[in-house]
Amino acid sequence: MSNGQNGAELRLVTPGMAIGPLAGKRVGSGTIAQNDTIIATRLGWTKEFNNTVSVDPINSAYMPRSGDLIVAVVAEVRNNLWFMNVNGPFQGLLPMSLAPWKVEFGAARQHMGIGDVVLARVQEVDECHNVVLTMKGVGLRRLTQGTTVRCPNQSHRSPSWRRQRNRATPTRCSRQPHHHRRKRKGLDRW
């Protein structure tokens, strides 16, 4: 029952499988309490954090959260904004006021076109799942070199494992279910 910390083994559980005793623990997403036992309600990897036991699903759609750093692709261009594919169930919106350039109304296509790839941050997600992106911030920019590669979901791995991978290789994976990996020349990071 861990996300890879404290030497505990990762456990793959199926719905209805007993994860462990409830004693002193809380149930999180993907679990229920029944007869002082924690039971899985979905297929996935068990995780324990702050005495809360949950099950991370193996396959799930990326749900953007405020503050997420993401790689997005321009899907559509309008007069005053870009619609971005964020590899989730909803498109992201990048208004020209949150772009790193001074963009006049109607001139959005002069700065970015369909298929351009950017490093952006999720500024906000409202109750209707509108995802507003920003490119104003340190390191946020259009990506013009490198390769985007899909790699397997590693969300069940510990944060220390991800840090070791990022230090040891010139690549970096985002934390989306279908991760984007951006290869760069040398050992610089983005």
Domain regions of the chain by residue span: 12-57, 69-143, 148-182
What's domain 69-143's architecture? Beta Barrel (2.40)
What is residue 184's predicted lDDT score, i.e. its pLDDT?
A: 37
pTM (whole model) above 0.75 = no
pLDDT band at 179 (very low <50, low <70, confident <90, very high): very low
pLDDT in tens, 92-113: 999 999 998 888 888 888 889 9
Please state which CATH class domain 12-57 belongs to.
mainly beta
Percent of the chain past pLDDT 70, that is, above it, reads 72
What does the alpha-carbon distance between residue 46 and residue 29 come to, in Å, rounded to a whole number? 10
Domains 12-57 and 69-143 share a fold: yes
What is residue 165's predicted lDDT score, i.e. its pLDDT?
A: 62
**Higher-pLDDT residue of 103, 175:** 103
- pLDDT of 48 higher than 60: yes
Beta bridge partners of 180: 150
Instruction: Please spell the DSSP secondary structure of 34-80, one letter per residue.
Output: ETTEEEE-SSEEEEEETTEEEEEESS------TT-EEEEEEEEE-SS
**Higher-pLDDT residue of 36, 185:** 36
Contact 117, 143 (CB under 8 A): yes
The rounded mean pLDDT for the chain is 78
